[in-house]
Structure 1
């Protein structure tokens, strides 16, 4: 659900034959926020783990076990592959009609506005730190005395959706804010595998940045949360 709606809003905004062409950066921001809202809503019962960076953050805090993390990571990658496949189905004619190979790749994967691997990595670490740190903060707000639940599965979809919109608007410009390894890697793999006319390179030389950056940001956020966030 996350990748179907997230990839879909990018395709809507940037593909030449789309009725949404020119929708702009804020449309993409809000579209991804609503994609997160939908994804969290339908995965609520399992803890709403949509992002390996959030999962590794909670592994760092000790809130989940390594075995649980492995299961979540596997499910996240499978979901990302399936979501990207359905984006391709929905926009197949538009992808084939698009002349810009970079726009085709942009539907599936992120890329930097200015390519500098070191600084791109820093941006992804910072943006993902914000995501994971605040998500952990959401999950710790609760009051046992009045029966208010705490934990990731209890935080609700709206706050996380708004957080993703905010991160995209504030920190997304340099790299396109992957902030989620599965979000980038799964669709990038599908871009490489699918029969998209004139698709060009999948830009594997950059692919490590939206994997390593979010994972580092997630670990740092998990470690920092134990020192800086209250436990209620």
Structure 2
């Protein structure tokens, strides 16, 4: 139960700070209104680092179903814990998104752009082509898992710095691969807040774009598993 609670809290922190930076940039009458992509990517990277620092020592701070499934697939995590981890991550993501809404309630009210309101909660592609959107998310999530496994390898002796470097990893993915789809690379990060958007009484909101919702759920799982096996393949060749 302690591990599940840690995954809940870690994912809540991730979404509170991650969706929060998007809200600060895209909603009207904010201090950060009009900031650019690097602000959003930096905010998400730091959000990951904070989530990992707070809960990593309890649960490993997967805070991402794609990471959880990937670790289980390569034999580094028990399949018995996977359902509980994913449930905790999804609930944490939902609650984090609700907190962002409460923090920015008046700014949601002041914003007329319905796509911007949705964009606070979940991702959307710049060019909608499901096949290529899936490929982008697979590549990004594979890189995430390869990076996480590499950072965490004992030979790197990262210790407490591992959480910060993981944040740099997510920052790098956002800057380098985030443009086409907004780099969900995490099913909970997208689906939990998307459900929150659907349920919350947001003024003049649009639909929650359920036609795209499977892409940031399914593709990261595929990418995470591929990334795990790619890393294991090279690791077995090196040692």
Measured against the shorter chain, the TM-score band is over 0.9
Match of 1:219 among 225, 229, 232: 225
Hey, what does 1:178 align to over in structure 2?
Answer: 184
- Structure 2 distance, partners of 1:198, 1:130, is 37
Could you report, residue by residue, the CA deviation over 1:34-76 in whole angstroms, capped at 9, with x for unpaired residues? 1001100111121111111111110111011111112211111
TM, length-normalised to structure 1: 0.93
Hey, what does 1:102 align to over in structure 2?
Answer: 115
Hey, what does 1:70 align to over in structure 2?
Answer: 83
How far has the Cα of 1:149 moved from its partner?
Answer: 8.1
Alignment of 1:24 with 2:36, yes or no, is yes
Alignment of 1:39 with 2:51, yes or no, is yes
How far has the Cα of 1:28 moved from its partner?
Answer: 0.1
Q: Is the 8 A contact 1:139 1:155 kept in 2?
A: no
Q: How big is the alpha-carbon RMSD for the aligned residues of Structure 1 and Structure 2?
A: 1.6
Match of 1:54 among 38, 42, 67: 67
**Alignment: residue pair count:** 225
Alignment of 1:169 with 2:175, yes or no, is yes
- The runs of 5 or more residues in structure 2 that have no matched partner are 1-12
Match of 2:154 among 141, 148, 169: 141
Could you report, residue by residue, the CA deviation over 1:112-155 in whole angstroms, capped at 9, with x for unpaired residues? 00000110000000000000111011222338xxxx588xxx77
